[in-house]
């Protein structure tokens, strides 16, 4: 199954929802699902090391108004 999680701060701020998304994504990827994390581009991806290797990570540019 192909699964995508989209959250702008997943790789930058390790708070509650960001930890949850990474945990669920890792669990699904370890079970063989095709997982992609879509997140906002940031200066230093703090939690990137927490993501298992077979998860695709796509950073998108965003601005604040």
Higher pLDDT, 36 or 8: 36
End-to-end distance of the chain based on CA atoms, in angstroms? 36
Q: If you ran DSSP here, which 8-state letter would residue 6 be given?
A: E
| Predicted local confidence at residue 29, as pLDDT | 96
pLDDT, tens digit (0-9, with 9 covering 90-100), for 26-65? 999 999 999 999 988 877 777 778 889 999 999 888 666 5
Contact indicator for 55, 37 with CB cutoff of 8 Å:
yes
Contact indicator for 21, 7 with CB cutoff of 8 Å:
yes
| 36 closest CA partner among 46, 22, 47, 16 | 22
């Amino acid at each position: 199954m192909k699964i995508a999680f989209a959250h702008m701060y997943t790789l930058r701020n390790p708070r509650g929802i960001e930890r949850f998304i990474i945990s669920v994504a890792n669990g699904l990827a370890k079970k063989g699902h095709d997982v992609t994390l879509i997140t906002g581009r940031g200066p230093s991806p703090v939690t990137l090391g927490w993501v298992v290797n077979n998860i695709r990570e796509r950073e998108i540019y965003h601005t604040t108004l």
